[in-house]
Structure 1
Amino acid sequence: MAEAKNTILIGIAGGTGSGKTTLADKVVDSFGRDEVSILRHDNYYKRHDEMNYEDRSKLNYDHPDAFDTELLCEHIKELKKGKAIQMPVYDYTIHNRSDKTILVEPAPVIVLEGILIFAEPSLCELMDIRVFVDTDADVRILRRIVRDVKDRGRSLDSVINQYLTTVKPMHEQFVEPSKRRADIIIPEGGENAVALEMLIQRVRKHLEEA
């Protein structure tokens, strides 16, 4: 495949349960797969085959060091060159990467969504548009509880304990300060219809010019 021209990377960040994934999905769903590709930061947690399950479960997954930033940056650069990549798949039930991957094809627009993507300067340098989803902390923790208990099979006590010991302090140390790197701040994420439409129009304009 020939080198891609005028590819833009849109970074969508925000705290846990902020609505960033909903916003990212709605942007992607508004276009075809040939037009917009998506990368999930959560899929780039580092692989830890050298640890047993108990040790992996004790790791701080809310710190920037938990992610394989080097691999993610490499994949973004490959996509911008017009080359497909195999995005890793993270399995929350084993606290490790699975052996599966997801084929991501190059496209004129790449969306990258994740909590800590603005905390990494090397990632920010690759982004053309940086969007931060800003949502009240009470709303975010309630959404996280529902997601982790219902979809990831975790106990309520474990979710609350993790929130208090790592999620909240890491948010205050890394996520909230990273908001200063945003070009656009959107309250309530994918539920903000006006902001969503403005972002979709920006993407549509780029596709028309590409």
Structure 2
Amino acid sequence: MNNKPYVLGIAGSSGSGKTFFLNSFLKHFKPSEVTLISQDDYYIPANTKTQEENRLYNFDIPTSIDRQAFYKDIKALFNGETIHKEEYTFNNPALTPKILEIKPAPILIIEGLFIFYYTEINDLINHKIFLSADQDIALRRRLHRDLVERGYFEDDVMYKWVNHVLPSYNEYLLPYQDTCDQVIFNNTDEPEPIWEITNQISEELKLKLNLV
């Protein structure tokens, strides 16, 4: 790649529907046209801790991420390099991590809770998208994800929600909502509204970058 990519930054509260939004968006492009790098794959490992230590360990603060490695890999994508990275499995022993191959592309999506807070990453973003959902809806989605998909215990999920998730959202993400180019309130579990939004954004990007 001779030109730097067009960078979309996508962040949102836990339970705001980021994963569904991203999957819907990616379907509008060929693999050679878009690539995704996720902050979640840069957690500093905590799998050596006991269950009780992990209960108290706060994964929802900027220092829980290997910020330097995250930025380094983003810059490598800017330079046309391919990244190989072990995916993060959220300390679930039932999951075997895959090796992710992240290739450079004309559109680069950077997603994660702290991407606007990390100034060196925020400065690289061309278009910032903020996803939000009402707290009761976000919590319901979080409980389903963590209990069913990640095998966590409900009391641990609720402890982290009250003591880690909400304080972090209020301190490290919400203050950047007004700086974003697009704010999406996603309170419905119906897919059509997100399909429509991602279709609109993708069509505009294709025209902008001459991908049609």
Give the alignment's TM-score, normalised by structure 1: 0.88
Deviations 1:17-76 (A, max 9, x none): 101221112111211110111112111111357x53444453210111111121111111
Matched, 1:88 2:90: no
Matched, 1:123 2:125: no
| Conservation of the 8 A alpha-carbon contact between 1:39 and 1:111 | yes
> 1:151, CA displacement in angstroms?
0.2
Find the residue that maps to 2:22 and give its secondary structure.
Answer: helix
| Conservation of the 8 A alpha-carbon contact between 1:20 and 1:114 | no
| Conservation of the 8 A alpha-carbon contact between 2:55 and 2:156 | no
- After the TM superposition, which residues 48-197 of structure 1 pair with which residues of structure 2 at under 5 Å, given as runs? 48=46, 51-54=48-51, 55-93=53-91, 100-188=98-186, 191-197=193-199
Change (3 A) 1:88 1:203: farther
> 1:209, CA displacement in angstroms?
6.3
Partners of 1:99 and 1:152 lie apart in 2 by 13
Change (3 A) 1:193 1:26: closer
Partners of 2:27 and 2:127 lie apart in 1 by 18
Deviations 1:142-163 (A, max 9, x none): 0000000000011222111110
Select 2:200's aligned residue among 198, 207, 210: 198
May I ask how many residue pairs the two structures share in their alignment? 205
Q: Which amino acid aligns with 2:207?
A: K
| Conservation of the 8 A alpha-carbon contact between 1:118 and 1:179 | no
| Conservation of the 8 A alpha-carbon contact between 1:131 and 1:183 | yes
* RMSD of aligned Cα (Å): 2.3
Give the alignment's TM-score, normalised by structure 2: 0.87
Q: Which amino acid aligns with 2:197?
A: A
| Conservation of the 8 A alpha-carbon contact between 1:30 and 1:200 | yes
Partners of 2:113 and 2:71 lie apart in 1 by 16
| Conservation of the 8 A alpha-carbon contact between 1:14 and 1:116 | no
Matched, 1:4 2:6: no
> 1:115, CA displacement in angstroms?
2.1
Change (3 A) 1:90 1:173: same
**Where does residue 15 of structure 1 map in the other structure?**
13
Find the residue that maps to 2:169 and give its secondary structure.
Answer: helix
Find the residue that maps to 1:110 and give its secondary structure.
Answer: strand
Change (3 A) 1:160 1:200: same
Change (3 A) 1:179 1:88: farther
| Conservation of the 8 A alpha-carbon contact between 1:21 and 1:113 | no
